[in-house]
Amino acid sequence: MQPKIVYSRFPRSWDLSANFLAAFIIFLGTGIGLFAGWLDLPVAVFVFVLTGWIVSLCLHEGAHAFAAYWGGDRSVAAKGYLSLEPLTYTQPFLSFVLPLLYLILGGIGLPGGAVSIDHSVLKSKRWQAFVSAAGPLANLVFLIILTIPFLLGLPDDGSRFWQAVALLGALQASAVVLNLLPVPGLDGFGILRPYLPRDMQMQANQIAPMLSVLLLMMFISHSANKALWSAVYELTDFFAVDRFLIFEGWKSFRFWM
């Protein structure tokens, strides 16, 4: 008798990577420790926010890949993108190392390098736009999950746990705001890109790397950074996050200052 072959609905490449799971477990464990008071230390806020940011970066890039998979680009599965493994992305330094360094220095939620998508096989222009929008949407969903307690009025103190949650929520808000800017190289432009003339798309591809560097340099300046954070705080205000908790979260996060 021939053995019965059972076919999985999803490819094995959808299995979550060990690196992503490790970051998520540390993030969750540190959060529980902060909430329970076992880890009421500034360094715990640093670990919680940093690993939470790593998780959000994986979800952001993974969301692009999942949208592309359902939109017709099945190559993302073979590339390992669906496992949320950060080392599979085309530019790990731009996608993870640079955003983490910038965060540690007290910066914004810097966007990373996008996953490699074959736009020519996507089903339609709408799918192409959705693939670009999926990353910021992942950050928005993460922001909503983090801020549900604030919307319900649950935080009744300024404990380090709520400081950490407020800061991580603000970073998600900064990722949403920054990524949706209609600048070549960012997801905001990617949403518009399918509807632009072909020659304009090609020109944008050529100048995107240069604009990304200029954008980073611009947000190092006080005025641009202030304008961005004003937009971020408008978004966190909408989700009832106390700005004082965000400020205190920064103080705890940068415990070495």
Sole residue written with tokens 């205190």: 248
Residue 4 domain-assigned (yes or no): no
At residue 150, the 3 state secondary structure works out as helix
Residue 114 domain-assigned (yes or no): yes
Distance CA 244, CA 234 (A): 14
Options 61, 85, 234, 248, the catalytic residue: 61
Mean pLDDT of the chain: 85
Confidence band (pLDDT; 50, 70, 90) for 221? low
Paired tokens of 203: 């020109």
- Other beta carbons less than 10 A from residue 130's beta carbon: 20
Question: How much of the chain, in percent, has pLDDT values that exceed 90?
Answer: 54
Residue 246 domain-assigned (yes or no): yes
Residue 143 domain-assigned (yes or no): yes
Sole residue written with tokens 């799971």: 21
Residues across the chain: 257
Residue 133 domain-assigned (yes or no): yes
Query: What are φ and ψ of residue 38, in 5° steps?
Result: -70, -30
Sole residue written with tokens 């072909």: 198
Q: Give the chain's end-to-end CA distance (angstroms, integer).
A: 70
pLDDT in tens, 80-101: 899 998 877 766 666 667 777 7
Q: Which of 71, 56, 69 is nearest to 176 (CA)?
A: 56
Q: Which amino acid is present at 172?
A: Q
pLDDT in tens, 96-129: 677 777 777 766 766 666 788 888 899 999 999 9
Residue 1 domain-assigned (yes or no): no
Q: Which of 153, 59, 71 is nearest to 109 (CA)?
A: 59
The number of folded domains in the chain is: 1
Distance CA 66, CA 84 (A): 10
Q: Which of 156, 177, 176, 174 is nearest to 242 (CA)?
A: 156
What would the mean pLDDT of 142-147 be, rounded to a whole number? Answer: 97
**Domain region containing 49:** 12-253
Give the model's pLDDT for residue 103: 79
Distance CA 61, CA 139 (A): 10
Among the residue ranges 45-49, 75-79, 126-130, 237-241, the one predicted with the least confidence is 75-79
Paired tokens of 105: 């220095």
Give the model's pLDDT for residue 205: 78
Q: Are 138 and 59 in contact (CB under 8 A)?
A: yes
- Assess whether 61 carries a catalytic annotation: yes
At residue 159, the 3 state secondary structure works out as coil
More confident residue, 93 or 253: 253
Q: Are 216 and 110 in contact (CB under 8 A)?
A: yes
Query: What are φ and ψ of residue 166, in 5° steps?
Result: -65, -45
